[in-house]
């Protein structure tokens, strides 16, 4: 695919076969089209022909992505007293990646097709060149996925730095800092949301696999004997988070890794998988990482990364349970899951049935007419709601068209101010999914919308 082309929607992983993907075959195209048309996601550097595998999040996409990250932060940090946050640097020295194993192991096996000379990931091509069908390839070579750069003005070996390929290491190398400053004791977690970079060989499927993406990761440090219990606890917590935010049970599952799939240090891994249009694929990995990371950084740095349990007079290296999710990938799953089409009054409509917490706008404020008489009241309703909800103020075209536009971007509630509102001090609140309309006094509007939000 050339850099100029629109996002590739072809599968880069084999479907499972058990998934009923037939009715979802054109879903990807529809969602990619909607994302561009309505300003969720643009191809990066589009005016220069585009830059492959990088995307810009537009006015609606940035709201949705932020809401996904906020919903994660709320569940993982805000509503818990055993998890604290961190925002570590993206640029990091080789020592971190030497100790973590990324410099020697974080690679994909690459082969070149002998006929058309295209380069592929060996594990993704099933023995046949996807471009020309040839079955002859060079021997596989390991290709490290980290982006390497130089910090400072001199580009020599001493100045080498890496863009982090995961946020996780930031939590391990700050373990002692956090322990000292927060006085937490195991079990406790450190959470981080932020950008990660991987020089993926086959970035594909829109924002599913990109070279620059966002992760939401938490490292939960536990006494060694409790690791399996906490691993199971986090499997359930994370699975339920997606259900609570509206992904139906038919589109999500947990897949436990076979022993042969596990890294040598991992005592157990399970993926939360989503039914993408090409089949089941990973949304999040939850791993029991044993004491590997703290031990590795402890040995390499010479710092003691341990916990001293005063009551038991015992010193130990905590084990780590890690729920690691992709924010951009999760946002895509929410979009795919929410996309629907139905008919209202004999007319077809497109709607995103996004959970109100995730919707780019929670409320559309729509004065029925552009006439100046309605504007002051409509603007006062907008000003009342804005500190509490992300609102869109729309005065263009007919009210029916405006409802459709809000449905298409997932706005759960529209508030219409009409000429009666000037008399009775009430507005019409329309529900996206049912299209039901009710009249509500303006002085009770905020409380009513908050009630609906809480109940969603
Ligand atoms: N610290 C563990 C770790 O990074 P991972 O399975 O490599 O584990 C965690 O990544 C999550 O990050 C994945 O489940 C996925 O959602 C997201 N992710 C990984 N690589 C990605 C990429 N190239 N593009 C988008 N999301 C990605």
Q: What is the pLDDT of residue 19?
A: 43
Q: Does the pLDDT value for residue 60 go beyond 90?
A: yes
Among residues 253, 327, 324, 316, the alpha carbon closest in space to that of 289 is found at 324
105, 166, 286, 289, best to mutate for ligand 1 pocket (most atoms within 8 Å of CB): 166
Q: How confident is the model at residue 126 (pLDDT cuts 50, 70, 90)?
A: confident
282, 327, 333, best to mutate for ligand 1 pocket (most atoms within 8 Å of CB): 282
Q: How confident is the model at residue 349 (pLDDT cuts 50, 70, 90)?
A: very high
For 41-90+164-334, CATH number out of 3.40.50.880, 3.90.79.10, 3.30.930.10, 3.40.50.720 equals 3.30.930.10
**Higher local confidence (pLDDT), 52 or 439:** 439
Tell how far the Cα of 203 is from the centroid of ligand 1, in angstroms.
12
Condensed to tens digits (0 to 9), the pLDDT of residues 95-125 reads 999 999 999 988 888 899 999 988 888 888 8
Q: What is the pLDDT of residue 62?
A: 98
- Looking from the CA of 388 toward its CB, the CA atoms found within 13 Å total 16
User: What burial letters (b/e) apply to 331-346, b meaning 16+ CB within 10 Å?
Assistant: bbbbbbbbbeeeeeee
Q: What is the pLDDT of residue 179?
A: 96
Q: Who contacts 446 (Cβ-Cβ below 8 Å, separation ≥6)?
A: 384, 385, 388
Tell how far the Cα of 449 is from the centroid of ligand 1, in angstroms.
36
Q: Does the pLDDT value for residue 77 go beyond 50?
A: yes
Q: Does the pLDDT value for residue 92 go beyond 60?
A: yes
Q: What is the pLDDT of residue 141?
A: 86
Q: Does the pLDDT value for residue 354 go beyond 50?
A: yes
| Phi, psi for 241 (deg, rounded to 5) | -60, -45
Q: What is the pLDDT of residue 88?
A: 98
Query: Which amino acids bring their CB within 6 angstroms of ligand 1?
Result: 166, 168, 198, 200, 209-210, 213, 215, 217, 282-285, 322, 324-326, 328-329
Rounded mean pLDDT, 188-214? 94
Average pLDDT, the chain: 92
The CATH number that domain 353-455 falls under is 3.40.50.800
Tell how far the Cα of 260 is from the centroid of ligand 1, in angstroms.
20
Cα separation, 210 vs 201, in Å, equals 10
Residue limits of CATH 3.40.50.800 in the chain? 353-455
Condensed to tens digits (0 to 9), the pLDDT of residues 244-271 reads 999 999 999 999 999 888 887 888 999 9
Q: What percent of the chain has pLDDT over 70?
A: 95
Q: Which atom of ligand 1 is nearest to the CA of 217?
A: 1
Q: Does the pLDDT value for residue 16 go beyond 80?
A: no
Task: Check: CB of residue 129 under 8 Å from CB of residue 120.
Answer: yes
Among residues 368, 394, 365, the alpha carbon closest in space to that of 381 is found at 365
């Amino acid at each position: 695919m050339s850099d100029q082309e629109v996002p590739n929607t072809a599968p880069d992983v084999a479907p499972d076969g058990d998934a009923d993907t037939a009715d979802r075959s054109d879903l990807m195209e529809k969602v990619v089209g909607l994302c561009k048309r309505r300003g969720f996601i643009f191809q990066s550097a589009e005016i220069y022909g585009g830059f492959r595998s990088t995307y810009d999040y537009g006015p609606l996409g940035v709201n949705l992505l932020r809401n996904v990250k906020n919903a994660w932060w709320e569940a993982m940090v805000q509503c818990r007293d055993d998890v604290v946050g961190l925002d570590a640097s993206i640029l990091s020295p080789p020592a971190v990646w030497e100790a973590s194993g990324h410099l020697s192991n974080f690679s994909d096996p690459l082969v070149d097709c002998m006929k058309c000379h295209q380069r592929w990931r060996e594990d993704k091509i099933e023995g046949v060149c996807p471009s020309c069908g040839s079955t002859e390839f060079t021997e596989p070579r390991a290709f490290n996925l980290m982006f390497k750069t130089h910090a400072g003005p001199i580009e020599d070996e001493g100045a080498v730095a890496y863009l982090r390929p995961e946020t996780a290491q930031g939590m391990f190398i700050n373990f002692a800092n956090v322990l000292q400053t927060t006085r937490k004791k195991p079990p406790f977690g450190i959470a981080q949301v932020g950008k990660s970079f991987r020089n993926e060989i086959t970035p594909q499927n829109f924002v599913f696999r990109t070279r620059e993406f966002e992760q939401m990761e938490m490292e939960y440090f536990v006494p060694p004997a409790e690791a399996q219990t906490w691993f199971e606890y986090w499997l359930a917590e994370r699975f339920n988070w997606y259900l609570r935010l509206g992904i139906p049970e038919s589109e999500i599952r947990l897949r436990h890794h076979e022993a042969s799939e596990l890294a040598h240090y991992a005592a157990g891994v399970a993926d939360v998988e989503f039914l993408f249009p090409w089949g089941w694929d990973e949304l999040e990995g939850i791993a029991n990482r044993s004491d590997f990371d703290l031990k590795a950084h402890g040995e390499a740095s010479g710092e003691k990364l341990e916990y001293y349990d005063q009551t038991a007079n015992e010193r130990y290296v905590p084990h780590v349970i890690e729920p690691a999710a992709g924010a951009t990938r999760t946002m895509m799953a929410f979009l795919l899951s929410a996309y629907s089409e139905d008919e209202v009054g004999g007319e077809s409509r497109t709607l995103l049935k996004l959970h109100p917490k995730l919707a780019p706008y929670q409320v559309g404020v729509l004065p029925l007419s552009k006439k100046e008489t309605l504007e002051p009241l409509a603007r006062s309703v907008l000003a009342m709601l804005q500190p509490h909800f992300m609102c869109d103020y729309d005065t263009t075209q007919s009210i029916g068209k405006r409802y459709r536009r809000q449905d298409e971007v997932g706005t759960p509630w529209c508030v219409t101010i009409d000429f009666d509102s000037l008399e009775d001090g009430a507005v019409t609140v329309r529900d996206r999914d049912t299209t039901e309309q009710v009249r509500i006094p303006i002085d009770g509007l905020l409380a009513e919308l908050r009630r609906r939000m809480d109940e969603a």
